[in-house]
Amino acid sequence: MRRVVITGMGAITPLGNDVETFWNNLLAGHSGAGAITHFDAAKFKTRSACEVKGFDAEKYLERKEARKTDPVTHYAIAATDEALKSSGLLASDVERDEVGIIWGSGIGGMRTFEEQVIEFGKGDGTPRFNPFFIPKTLIDSTSGWLAMRYGFRGINYTAVSACATSNTCLMDAFNYVRWGKAEVMIAGGSEAAVTMGGIGGFNAMKALSTRNDDPQSASRPYDAERDGFVMGEGAGALVLESLEHAQRRGATIVAEIIGAGMSADAYHLTATHPEGLGVRLALNRALKDAAIRCDEVDYINTHATSTPDGDLNELKAIQAVFGEHVRRMNISATKSMTGHLLGAAGAVEAIACINALQHDLVPPTINIHQLDAGVPPDFNLTPGKAVQRKVNIAMSNTFGFGGHNAIVLFKKFVG
């Protein structure tokens, strides 16, 4: 099978609206959390989130197009624009009939759905809906908009696996390229669920932190007093190519994808397996797929959302697979800074992993004030500050409601 490389990245995040700003704020240990501004959250149990800041859709789209699309698509277009620009793909003689897109979202156009249904509820029952109501809310609309925007007529669809979504998209794109079914694929995910329904729904599940008095410390993976995740939003986009195609056009290669693994917990709709059995399977499958030993992994960006059970169950799985090597590798939970971007989490965290490879720097886990007693003593969770170390192979873990596990392995590129 062919080698698959990354030649472009783009990011819209609570820490910045481009890859460089996002990465620098990660290294600095900044939190993207603050009071919710997208709606009046005064009566909600959770009143803070990690929102995208200073974003203007009309910087990327004409006003008419922006009004036809939901923020979940706005974020996707902005991130993909950056990824394509950084890859130089559009400036080359690439055959656009052969460029594919796999784009995902865990929830899709939730803001549009809420606005339209609330507006309908205010009336006399006469159905008056925006003609773009359905296209704006459908999860697959974003991949369609991206194809139309750039004229890419290759493989095109949407994958949904909750919070594992964009890793699933990356994995599928990786497979199409290495199997020779495509030369170039755009893959990623976007989410815009900081809405009344998003916050209210997760509150009803008791999944969100209610630490409203200090939102910047609310997302605290592995801390003894963590009380749930902080909602994030944004998008991450990556350009994948066969090594041969990238080299032929003289592209700058930022990393290589070497393997991926998936599994199902088959245990509970929202809770992870208490011993991490499904996660173990995905970890082992990713290592086998990449044909590497566990002691070759230098860094794991963990799923670690800041939920009481989920954080520890993931560590149990990692310890079961990696054994004593956990002492020699770094782990960090960048959701402590970005919040949980749901279906966009995997793509954004992949970008963090790739930057770690490029710069030999591991971003920190912030907000560990008192380490949970259940965290095994051998783990290096990179608390508080970024760490300079050799990073040759990095792993990104994502797990979604429904028990979906998707893990991707990246390697420093060597020609």
> What's 252's DSSP letter?
P
**Residue-level pLDDT at 415:** 78
Structure tokens at 402: 């429904």
- pLDDT below 70 — which residues of the chain? none
Residue tagged 């004030």 (tokens): 369
What CATH number should be reported for the domain whose range is 1-415? 3.40.47.10
Q: How many CB atoms lie within 10 A of CB 288?
A: 11
**Residue-level pLDDT at 269:** 86
Active site (annotated) includes residue 294: no
Active site (annotated) includes residue 340: yes
Q: Which of 74, 245, 273, 303 is catalytic?
A: 303
Q: Which of 163, 169, 245, 353 is catalytic?
A: 163
Q: Return the CA Rg of the chain.
A: 20
Query: Cβ distance 97 to 153 under 8 Å?
Result: yes
- The Cα 364–Cα 366 span in angstroms is 6
Nearest to 131 by CA among 57, 68, 71: 68
Q: Which of 74, 245, 273, 340 is catalytic?
A: 340
Helix (H) or strand (E) segment spanning residue 117: helix 110-122
Calculate the average pLDDT of the chain: 97
DSSP three-state, residue 311: helix
Parallel/antiparallel/unpaired status of strands 234-242 and 4-12 = antiparallel
**Residue-level pLDDT at 317:** 96
**Residue-level pLDDT at 302:** 98
> What's 195's DSSP letter?
S
340's CB contacts (< 8 A; 6+ apart) are 163, 219, 229, 230, 231, 232, 305, 306
Residue tagged 């966009």 (tokens): 344
Nearest to 153 by CA among 212, 95, 240, 81: 95
**Residue-level pLDDT at 207:** 96
Nearest to 89 by CA among 151, 141, 143: 151
277's CB contacts (< 8 A; 6+ apart) are 265, 267, 317
Query: Cβ distance 232 to 49 under 8 Å?
Result: yes
**Residue-level pLDDT at 144:** 97
